Structure 1
Amino acid sequence: MTRGGVRCMGRGRGRPAAIVDGTQSPRHYWGSELARLREEAGLTQQELAAKFPIDSSHLHRLEHATRKPPDLEFVEVLDEFVMGRGHLVKTYKMVLRLEAGAKYADYFAEALALEPTADRIDWYGGSIVPGLLQTEGYVRALTVAAHPFWTAEKVEKTVDDRIRRAAVLHRSTPLQMLAILDEAALRRPVGGRQVMVEQLDHIAELASDGLAVVQVLPYEVGAFPLLDGQMIIYRFVNDPPLVYTEGSVSGQLVEEKSEVDESILMYDLTRGQALPPSESLAFIVDAIKEHQGNV
């Protein structure tokens, strides 16, 4: 046991793996409990994985919350192998209840759980500012527009939850945030001109402070690979990347390597058409002035 988490043994006996930090999210807590019970049972990741039709790398990802169990039956069998006496099952049901109560679309919940673990996120948000860069006023305007029949209390809960997520940009080991902003996301006065001034000021400040690398994709580019949707790439130190894609009313987490590779290529091609960071910052400043002139 180590302070703040569990140091799990790696895929071969005697080789330490990374610490499993159970404080980052409900899924991280469950993963840290799996690691703890496995170690107390005297099993390495490789030995436990051999009891399943999975490899040790998949078990490693379960413990570090970059993958989720396929179903509750899988968790029940896992609990038996590590002699959890039902503990893994109870805590996993708790995770499911907490995620069910979250104010996010079901199809985004799984991707959302990856934010605290990711070491780097590449984000193209289409005509919307990426979520981790959004301000309160901007989030509120988007939420009211998408859910006009929600109560004010429900709207504010959504705003608070979204803003709280941005804490990953300020953690002790900061997230590497790279964003592509479509010019449409800069020009459309979401929430009004003053809200957009505050939003773009916030983005410019994050970029200037080195908390995010921002590139603008101007209208003059024309067609580009990600024109018809949004994409987020989650990158990890010890695990392969995952990709989340989203349309207007649906989204999916992509895990298959060939599809992940193709998605990353599409993202890289799009980024190659965007302005360099320094020119992008100047572009954002010009957009701020434009909005200020119309307040």
Structure 2
Amino acid sequence: MANAGSSRQAAWEFYGTELKNRREAAKMTQQELGRKVFVSGGYIGQFEQAIRKPQLDVAARIDEVLQTDGFFERMCRQLINKSPYAEYFAAAAELESLATKLCDFAPTLVPGLLQTAPYARAVTLAMNPFISEEDVEGKVTARIDRAHILRRPSAPVYWAIVHENVLRTPVGGSATMAGQLDHIVALARERIVLPLVIPYQAGAYALLTGMVTLMEFEDAPPTAYTEAVYSGNLLDDPALVKQVQAAYDLLRASALPQEASLTLIESAAEDHRRCARTT
């Protein structure tokens, strides 16, 4: 997996070098190209340095402006297809690794960055019951590898809001679930994540369906990612992102305070442990 990641990064660096070469050959500045493809000049600079990866529609517009006969769109598609993640999530995964702040909301499952290997395996098999063992291991490894960003020196500030449903559903069985919740508590005690829980008694809450991630960056505007059934959507329109941020603030207001949330997570873990002992 590490070799594959290095190879993919090298390919993105080649992509960026080619973009810079073709842009300069067209005698355009980063700002000029950015205006023509509806992104900032700073974004073009980040594409060229392989700091940020363009979405397919941006790559297609770059081809049109630079008259490169689909080169950048084709290469972008090839690199996304080589990602260990689902196509609809690949771009979001790249952005996630660059974020300075991440805010997750999960109504039904533990967020991917917090999942243990047994939990991730149970989720993978539930969604892909006929998958080969090799593919299961590949998907689980890719998911666990994502969490490395939480322990790097430049780790993002990370909030995770979950509904109490997430704590009570015994994904993978009671023992697996107890271990999963213990893992979240341990990360919280290490101050790696700040988890909050929306309890059943909160009733209706903002963002009623679907997983949501808000991402903030050092030198780029914030982005929101929403996920539905086998589909994902990156939102970078400032007005839409602002709406999602406001909804996330309402989620915080519906959630239990930090210590009360941890107490509920620990209590749910103990309930699962007791259930595991009796089965």
1:65 matched to 2:76 = no
The 5 Å alignment of 1:103-252 reads 103-252=84-233
Distance in 1, Cα, partners of 2:55 & 2:92:
11
Q: Which has the higher contact order (CA 8 A, sep 6+)?
A: 2
Distance in 2, Cα, partners of 1:53 & 1:174:
30
Deviation of 1:234 after TM superposition, in Å, equals: 1.0
Deviation of 1:44 after TM superposition, in Å, equals: 5.3
Task: Answer whether contact 2:37 2:62 (CA < 8 A) is retained.
Answer: no
Distance in 2, Cα, partners of 1:28 & 1:50:
22
- Normalising by structure 2, what TM-score? 0.83
Distance in 2, Cα, partners of 1:260 & 1:169:
23
In structure 2, the partner of 1:274 is: 255
Distance in 1, Cα, partners of 2:91 & 2:215:
12
Unaligned runs of 5+ in 1: 1-21, 81-85
Query: Kindly tell me: are residues 70 and 269 of structure 1, through their superposed partners in 2, closer, same or farther at Cα, counting changes over 3 Å?
Result: same
* Residues 113-162 of structure 1 deviation map (CA, whole Å, 9 limit, x = unaligned): 21111111100011100000000000000010111011111111100110
Would you tell me which structure has more helix in proportion to its own residues? 2
Task: Answer whether contact 1:138 1:190 (CA < 8 A) is retained.
Answer: yes
Unaligned runs of 5+ in 2: 1-5
Distance in 1, Cα, partners of 2:30 & 2:103:
30
1:29 matched to 2:13 = yes
- Normalising by structure 1, what TM-score? 0.79
Amino acid at match of 1:144: L
Distance in 2, Cα, partners of 1:26 & 1:276:
44
Distance in 1, Cα, partners of 2:240 & 2:115:
29
Amino acid at match of 1:29: E
User: How many pairs are equivalent?
Assistant: 267
- Give the secondary-structure state (helix, strand or coil) at the position aligned to 2:160: strand
- Give the secondary-structure state (helix, strand or coil) at the position aligned to 1:144: helix
Distance in 2, Cα, partners of 1:181 & 1:277:
12
- Give the secondary-structure state (helix, strand or coil) at the position aligned to 2:109: coil
Task: Answer whether contact 1:127 1:182 (CA < 8 A) is retained.
Answer: yes
Query: Kindly tell me: are residues 205 and 78 of structure 1, through their superposed partners in 2, closer, same or farther at Cα, counting changes over 3 Å?
Result: farther
Distance in 2, Cα, partners of 1:183 & 1:38:
52
Amino acid at match of 2:41: S
Give me the CA root mean square deviation: 3.0
